[in-house]
Amino acid sequence: MTRDTKRGAGFPLRLDQVDPRRGTSPGTVLRPQRPLREAAADLARVPAAAGLGLDSDGVRQRMVDRLQAQGLRDERVIAAMRAVPRHLFVDTALAGQAYEDTSLPIGLGQTISKPSVVARMIELMLVRQPQGALSRVLEIGTGCGYQAAVLARVARLVVSVERLRPLHERARENLAGLRSSGLRLVYGDGRIGHAPNAPYDGIIAAAGGEDLPAAWIDQLAPGGRLVAPMHDARTGGQVLMVVDRQPDGRIDRSVHEAVKFVPLKSGVD
C-alpha cells in the first residue's frame, strides 16, 4: 500500500503512481468478461431455460458454496449472493448458465460479470465496515442491474449510474420486481459520479480506464473505500485498485488482483 499524505492529491490517479509490490494478490487473472464471441456463441447453442428450477434456493446456494470454496467469507455478501436471482438478469436462452461462474452477454458489447468477481469486489469494499450495512454506495456502470441488486442488500442507499440508455432502461425493468426501495438508477456519465447524493461510504466501478477520475475521490466520504479496475501500463492489462479515504482526509491506495473489464468511457450514448 502506498500513502499520499496530501488531501486529495495525485488525482486523476494513474497506476504508475502506485507501488505494485504492496497489496497485490498473486494468482490467476479475474476475468469478469469473456471474449464476446465466446459468450455470444452460447446464445446460439443453449436451449431455452424451461423447468430448470432456477427459482429454488438450492441452485443459488450451490453457486454460493463454490464462492465460499474460492475464499468468500463476508456473511453479508454471502447472504446477498444467495438472495438475488441472477437468472432474471440474463437472456432466457442463457438462463441455464446463470449460476455458473461465467460472464454472459447483455447486449451493446457488454456482459454481466462473473459471480466471483462481483462477490470479490463487494467484499473488498466492505472490509472497512466489519458489521452492518453501508450507508451510501455509488456504482459506476449499472449494466443489466445484477450487481446493483446485490449491493442493495449490503447498503441502505445505492446510486447506480449507467451511460448507455438501453441498458439503463433494461436494468430498470429487471429491478422493478425486486425489493429495491434503497436503489436509485441514474442515466448519466459515470466518470463524473453523482454529486447530489455524495459523499459515499463505498464506490464500486464495473469499467476500467487509464486513471481513476478525480470526481470519484472527491465524492468518497472520510472512512470510505473505492474499488475499481484500472489500466496497468506495465502489463497492458488491468488490476483492481482500492482507494481508502482516512477520517483525516489522507488517501491510501493499494493494488490487488489482475482483472479484465470493459473500458471506462465518458459521456452518454
Q: Report how far Cα 81 is from the mean position of its chain's Cα atoms.
A: 13
SS (H, E, C) 152-164: CCCEEEEEEEECC
Name residue, grid cell 448458465. 97
> What letter does residue 24 receive in the DSSP assignment?
P
- Contact assessment for residue 203 and residue 228, using Cβ atoms and an 8 Å cutoff: yes
| Pick from 123, 113, 155, 162: nearest CA to 136 | 155
Let me know if 135 is a catalytic residue.
no
User: What are the cell numbers at 54?
Assistant: 432456477
| Sign of the torsion angle spanned by Cα atoms 12, 15, 206, 179 | negative
| Sign of the torsion angle spanned by Cα atoms 178, 179, 185, 190 | negative
Q: Which of 25, 56, 103, 113 is catalytic?
A: 113
> What letter does residue 233 receive in the DSSP assignment?
T
Residues 6+ apart with CB under 8 A from 176: none
User: What are the cell numbers at 215?
Assistant: 470526481
Active site residues: 113
